[in-house]
C-alpha cells in the first residue's frame, strides 16, 4: 500500500506531467498560468487580478518559490507555490502535507531551520501564521514569553528522522503555538501544533 | 322603544299594522308599508294603542331598523314593505343576539343583504335615532382603527350584545377620550382585531383606568397600548404558540426606555416581507428579535428582509445573517456603536449598495479567513457561524470568532470598500490596512487602539513571512521613498527616530520594554487618514 503522503505526491506528479509540453519557456508560462488559475480557484479571485511573483528568499537547491497576490482587493491572504527541481508544481492542489514534505525532501538538505519552518508553514495544511525566528516579530515573541514559555528560534535536529521545532504566531487571533514536525526518510511528515495560550480575540483574515 | 320591542309588537299585531292604511282587516295584503306605519303613527280612526303608535313612530324615524325588517328574509332589496316572512326571519336574527351586521347592512335604506356594510350604511346608522347608543359608540370606536369602515361587516358579525356594551363603555371612558389620536387608534385596532373580545376590553379598560397609566409619559402610554394591539393583530394570532412566546419574551425583556420595542415588532409582523417567509424562517427572525430585544434591532431585521440578497439566502444563511445584523445592531457597552450602526446602514439603507454574502472562505493551510470584501460585496465565512436560532455569542465553536466577525471583521472590510482601497507595494496601502484595522479595533473595543497596539500592527506588516509583508511591505521597504514613510509612521507611534538601519532593533526594544517609548504607549494611536466611521 502506498503511504498517504506518497500517494499524494504521485498525484501531484501526474498533474505536472500534463503541463510539460513545449520546453522551459513554454512551461514557465504554463506554470504561471497554473498558479494564477489555482489562486483564482482556491480563493475565488478573478484571474485578471492575480499576480504571481517570485519569492526568491526561499529559492534553493533547485526549488523555486512563488506567491500569488490579489492586486485589486485587500484579500488578507497570498497563495504559495513552488516549482521542484523535477518541474513538479507544489501548492496548486490540496495535498495534505505532501507538498511540504516533497519540498523539504527535495531541497531542504543543508537548509537552515528557519527555511524549513517557513516552507512548512506555507505548504502544510496543519499550521499557518508567522514563523518566529530569532530576529522575527518581537511582539509575537514577547507573547510566547508572556505565556510563561521559553522562546527558541526554529531548531532542526537529525536522528532516525529530521525533526523541526519552532513557534508560530497567529496574528489575527493573537495566539502563538509551538510546532513540532518530524520528516521521516520515507517522506511521511508528522506535525503537531500546540497553542501556548488561549485565543485572546478574533481578527480578520490572516 | 328599541328594535327588539318593535319586533315583538309587529309580530303580535301584524294584521293591524298590515291593514292600517286600508282601515279594513279584510283587505290585508301581507305587507306593512310605510303608509301603514304612517297611519298607525297618526292613529287613524283611533284604532291603535299607544304602544303600536310608538312602534310605528320608531320605525318611521329609524330607516336602519325599518330596512332591517324590510329585508329580514334576506331576499331582494329594500322595497319599503315588511312581509310576514321578513318579520319572522328578523325575529330569529334578533333572538340570536348577533345581528349587528344585518342591522347595518341596509342602514342606508338601499340594496339588500349583500354582506357589505358600506361607509354610507355606517353614516346612516350613526345618525339614526333607532340605532342603540351602545352600537353607535362601538362603531365610533371601531372606525378609529386604521382600516376605518373597511371590512366592518365581518367585525360586526362577530359581536354580541355584551361585547358591544363593553366596547361602548370603553369608548365612553374619560381616560379614552383623553388619549391622543394615535393612541385611540391602537385601542381601536386591538378591539377590532380581537373581535371585541371581552378579556381584551377588560384589560384595556383596566390599563386606561389605572393610576400607573395615568402617571406614564405619552411615550410610555403609547408603548403600553401598542403591546395590547400587538398581541391581538391577526399576524400575531396566526403564529404558533412558540413563535408568539418569542415575541412576548422580547417585549418583556426589552429595556424599559425602549418605548418602540412593541411597535417595531408589530411593524415587522405586518410587513409583506415577513408575511412572505415560511414558518422556519419566521421562527429564525423572531428568535433573533427575542435574543436581541431592541427596536433598532427589529427595525434592521425588517429592513434586511426586504433586501434581495437576503431573500436569496437559504434558511441556514438567513439564520447566520440575522445573527450578525442583530448582534451588530444591539446596543452594548464597550463597542463603538456609531461605527457599527454606520456599517449596518451600508447594507440596509434604502439606497444601500453593499450586500452580504455568506460562504465558506478557503484559506491557506492552517489559516482562517473571517471575511473579505470587494465590488460592494462583503463575504463572511459561514464556517464561523452556526446555522441555528441561538445567540451569536453562544456559537458552539469559537464564539469569540463569531462575535469578532460581527463587530471587527465586517467594519474592517466595509472600511476598505468605503475608502476604495487597492493593494499596492506602498506605504499608502499599508496605511489603508492600518486604517481598516484601526476602524475594526475601534468598533469592537469602543475606543481607538493605543500607540503600543498600533506599533504591534505595523510590526506585523513589516515582518517577513506575514501576508502583508509578502504582498506589499517587502517591496515597499525596498523602495527608499516608501520605506521612509513607513519609518516615519513607526517614529510617530514610538516617538523614536526610526530608519532603515535601526527599525528592527527599535521594534525589538519597544516590545521588550514599554519604558522606551517616547510617546505614551497607552495613549491613542496615530489617527490614519480616510474615512474612520464607515458613514
pLDDT, tens digit (0-9, with 9 covering 90-100), for A7-25: 233 333 323 333 333 333 3
Give this prediction's pTM: 0.88
Asked if the C-beta of A182 comes within 8 angstroms of chain B's C-beta atoms, the answer is: no
For the cut 60, the answer to whether the pLDDT of residue A51 exceeds it is yes
pLDDT digits (tens, 9 = 90+) for A84-121: 999 899 998 767 788 999 999 999 999 999 999 999 99
Q: What is the DSSP string of B485-535?
A: HHHHHHHHHHSS---TTTHHHHHHHHHH-GGG-SS-TTSBPPPPSS-SS--
Asked if the C-beta of A206 comes within 8 angstroms of chain B's C-beta atoms, the answer is: yes
Q: What CA dihedral angle connects B404, B407, B410 and B415, to 10 degrees?
A: -130
For the cut 70, the answer to whether the pLDDT of residue A133 exceeds it is yes
Asked if the C-beta of A142 comes within 8 angstroms of chain B's C-beta atoms, the answer is: yes
Chain A positions in Cβ-Cβ contact with residue B464 (cut-off 8 Å): 57, 136
Short-list B264, B263, B141, B244, CA closest to B192: B141
pLDDT digits (tens, 9 = 90+) for B171-212: 999 999 999 999 999 999 999 999 999 999 999 999 999 999
d(CA A168, CA A174): 11
Which segment of B175-189, B289-303, B364-378, B435-449 scores lowest on mean pLDDT? B364-378
Contact A124 B366 (CB under 8 A): yes
Asked if the C-beta of B511 comes within 8 angstroms of chain A's C-beta atoms, the answer is: yes
pLDDT digits (tens, 9 = 90+) for A158-175: 999 999 999 999 887 788
Contact A193 B511 (CB under 8 A): no
ipTM for the predicted complex comes to 0.84
Considering only CB atoms, B459 lies closest to which of A43, A121, A137, namely A137
d(CA A106, CA A83): 11
Considering only CB atoms, B433 lies closest to which of A74, A128, A129, namely A74
Contact A128 B423 (CB under 8 A): no
Strands A175-183 and A162-170, sheet pairing: antiparallel
Chain B positions in Cβ-Cβ contact with residue A75 (cut-off 8 Å): 372, 423
Contact B366 A78 (CB under 8 A): no
pLDDT at B365: 64
Q: Distance from A22 to chain B by nearest Cα, in Å? A: 31
Q: Are B469 and B478 in contact (CB under 8 A)?
A: no
Residue A176 contacts by C-beta under 8 Å, 6 or more apart in sequence? A132, A140, A143, A144, A147, A149, A167, A168, A169, A170, A195, A196, A197
Q: Distance from B374 to chain A by nearest Cα, in Å? A: 6
Q: Are B498 and B490 in contact (CB under 8 A)?
A: yes
Q: Where are the beta strands (DSSP E) in B365-461?
A: 371-374, 377-381
Asked if the C-beta of B432 comes within 8 angstroms of chain A's C-beta atoms, the answer is: yes
B-interface mutation test, from A137, A176, A177, most B Cβ less than 10 A away = A137
Considering only CB atoms, B463 lies closest to which of A44, A67, A137, namely A137
Q: Distance from A138 to chain B by nearest Cα, in Å? A: 5
B-interface mutation test, from A41, A65, A74, A151, most B Cβ less than 10 A away = A74
Asked if the C-beta of B401 comes within 8 angstroms of chain A's C-beta atoms, the answer is: yes
Q: Which of A11-20, B46-55, B116-125 has the highest mean pLDDT?
A: B46-55
pLDDT digits (tens, 9 = 90+) for B286-343: 999 999 999 999 999 999 999 999 999 999 999 999 999 999 999 999 999 999 999 9
Contact B423 A204 (CB under 8 A): no
The phi-psi region of residue B115 (left if phi > 0; otherwise alpha if psi is between -120 and 50; otherwise beta) is left
Average pLDDT, integer, range B56-78:
92
pLDDT digits (tens, 9 = 90+) for A186-203: 999 999 999 987 544 434
Q: Distance from B424 to chain A by nearest Cα, in Å? A: 7
Contact A129 B367 (CB under 8 A): yes
Asked if the C-beta of B510 comes within 8 angstroms of chain A's C-beta atoms, the answer is: yes
**Which cell goes with B225?**
397600548
Which segment of A60-64, A72-76, B221-225 scores lowest on mean pLDDT? A72-76
Q: Are A51 and A69 in contact (CB under 8 A)?
A: yes
Nearest-Å Rg of the Cα atoms of chain B is 37
Asked if the C-beta of B363 comes within 8 angstroms of chain A's C-beta atoms, the answer is: yes
Q: Are A3 and A188 in contact (CB under 8 A)?
A: yes
For the cut 80, the answer to whether the pLDDT of residue B5 exceeds it is yes
Contact B466 A57 (CB under 8 A): no
Chain A positions in Cβ-Cβ contact with residue B373 (cut-off 8 Å): 73-74
Chain A positions in Cβ-Cβ contact with residue B460 (cut-off 8 Å): 130, 137, 139-140, 171
Amino acid at each position: 500500500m502506498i503511504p498517504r503522503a506518497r500517494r499524494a505526491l504521485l498525484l501531484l506528479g501526474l498533474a505536472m506531467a500534463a503541463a510539460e509540453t513545449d520546453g522551459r519557456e513554454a512551461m514557465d508560462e504554463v506554470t504561471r498560468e497554473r498558479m494564477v488559475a489555482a489562486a483564482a480557484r482556491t480563493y475565488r479571485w478573478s484571474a485578471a487580478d492575480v499576480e504571481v511573483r517570485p519569492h526568491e528568499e526561499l529559492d534553493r537547491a533547485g526549488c523555486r518559490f512563488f506567491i500569488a497576490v490579489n492586486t485589486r482587493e485587500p484579500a488578507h491572504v497570498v497563495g504559495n507555490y513552488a516549482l521542484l527541481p523535477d518541474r513538479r508544481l507544489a501548492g496548486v492542489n490540496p495535498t495534505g502535507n505532501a507538498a511540504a514534505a516533497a519540498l523539504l525532501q527535495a531541497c531542504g538538505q543543508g537548509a537552515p531551520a528557519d527555511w524549513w519552518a517557513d516552507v512548512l508553514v506555507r505548504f502544510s495544511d496543519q499550521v499557518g501564521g508567522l514563523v518566529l525566528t530569532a530576529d522575527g516579530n518581537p511582539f509575537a515573541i514577547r507573547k510566547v514569553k508572556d505565556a510563561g514559555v521559553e522562546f527558541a528560534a526554529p531548531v532542526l535536529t537529525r536522528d532516525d528522522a529530521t525533526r523541526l521545532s519552532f513557534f508560530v504566531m497567529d496574528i489575527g487571533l493573537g495566539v502563538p503555538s509551538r510546532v513540532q514536525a518530524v520528516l521521516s526518510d520515507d517522506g511521511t511528515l508528522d506535525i503537531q501544533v500546540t497553542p501556548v495560550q488561549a485565543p485572546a480575540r478574533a481578527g480578520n483574515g490572516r | 322603544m328599541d328594535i327588539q320591542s318593535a319586533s315583538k309588537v309587529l309580530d303580535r299585531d301584524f294584521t293591524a299594522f298590515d291593514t292600517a292604511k286600508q282601515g279594513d282587516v279584510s283587505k290585508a295584503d301581507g305587507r306593512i308599508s310605510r303608509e301603514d306605519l304612517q297611519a298607525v303613527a297618526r292613529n287613524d280612526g283611533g284604532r291603535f294603542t299607544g304602544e303600536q303608535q310608538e312602534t310605528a313612530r320608531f320605525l318611521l324615524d329609524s330607516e336602519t331598523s325599518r330596512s332591517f325588517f324590510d329585508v329580514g328574509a334576506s331576499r331582494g332589496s329594500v322595497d319599503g314593505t315588511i312581509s310576514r316572512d321578513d318579520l319572522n326571519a328578523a325575529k330569529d336574527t334578533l333572538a340570536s343576539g348577533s345581528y349587528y351586521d344585518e342591522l347595518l347592512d341596509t342602514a342606508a335604506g338601499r340594496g339588500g343583504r349583500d354582506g357589505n356594510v358600506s361607509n354610507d350604511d355606517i353614516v346612516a346608522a350613526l345618525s339614526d335615532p333607532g340605532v342603540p347608543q351602545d352600537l353607535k359608540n362601538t362603531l365610533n370606536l371601531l372606525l378609529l382603527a386604521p382600516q376605518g369602515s373597511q371590512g366592518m361587516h365581518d367585525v360586526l358579525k362577530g359581536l354580541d350584545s355584551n361585547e358591544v356594551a363593553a366596547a361602548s363603555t370603553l369608548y365612553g371612558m374619560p381616560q379614552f377620550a383623553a388619549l391622543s389620536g394615535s393612541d385611540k387608534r391602537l385601542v381601536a385596532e386591538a378591539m377590532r382585531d380581537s373581535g371585541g373580545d371581552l378579556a381584551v376590553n377588560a384589560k384595556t379598560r383596566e390599563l386606561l383606568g389605572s393610576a400607573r397609566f395615568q402617571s406614564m409619559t405619552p411615550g410610555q402610554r403609547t408603548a403600553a397600548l401598542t403591546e395590547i394591539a400587538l398581541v391581538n393583530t391577526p399576524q400575531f394570532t396566526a403564529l404558533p404558540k412558540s413563535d408568539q412566546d418569542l415575541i412576548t419574551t422580547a417585549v418583556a425583556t426589552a429595556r424599559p426606555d425602549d418605548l418602540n420595542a412593541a411597535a417595531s415588532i408589530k411593524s415587522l409582523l405586518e410587513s409583506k416581507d415577513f408575511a412572505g417567509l415560511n414558518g422556519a424562517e419566521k421562527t429564525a427572525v423572531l428568535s433573533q428579535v427575542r435574543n436581541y430585544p431592541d427596536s433598532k434591532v427589529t427595525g434592521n431585521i425588517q429592513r434586511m428582509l426586504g433586501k434581495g440578497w437576503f431573500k436569496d439566502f437559504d434558511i441556514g444563511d438567513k439564520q447566520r445573517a440575522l445573527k450578525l445584523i442583530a448582534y451588530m445592531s444591539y446596543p452594548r457597552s464597550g463597542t463603538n456603536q456609531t461605527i457599527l450602526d454606520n456599517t449596518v446602514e451600508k447594507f440596509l439603507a434604502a439606497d444601500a449598495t453593499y450586500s452580504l454574502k455568506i460562504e465558506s472562505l478557503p484559506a491557506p493551510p492552517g489559516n482562517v479567513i473571517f471575511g473579505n470584501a470587494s465590488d460592494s460585496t462583503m463575504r463572511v465565512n459561514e464556517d464561523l457561524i452556526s446555522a441555528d436560532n441561538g445567540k451569536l455569542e453562544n456559537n458552539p465553536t469559537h464564539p469569540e470568532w463569531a462575535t469578532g466577525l460581527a463587530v471587527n471583521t465586517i467594519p474592517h472590510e466595509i472600511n476598505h470598500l468605503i475608502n476604495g482601497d487597492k493593494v499596492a507595494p506602498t506605504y499608502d496601502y499599508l496605511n489603508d490596512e492600518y486604517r481598516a484595522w484601526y476602524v475594526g479595533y475601534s468598533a469592537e473595543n469602543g475606543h481607538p487602539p493605543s500607540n503600543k497596539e498600533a506599533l504591534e500592527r505595523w510590526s506585523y506588516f513589516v515582518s517577513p513571512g506575514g501576508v502583508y509583508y509578502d504582498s506589499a511591505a517587502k517591496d515597499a521597504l525596498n523602495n527608499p521613498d516608501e520605506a521612509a514613510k513607513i519609518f516615519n509612521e513607526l517614529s510617530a507611534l514610538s516617538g523614536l527616530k526610526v530608519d532603515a538601519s535601526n527599525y528592527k532593533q527599535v521594534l525589538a526594544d519597544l516590545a521588550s520594554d514599554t519604558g522606551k517609548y517616547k510617546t505614551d504607549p497607552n495613549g491613542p494611536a496615530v489617527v490614519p487618514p480616510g474615512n474612520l466611521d464607515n458613514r
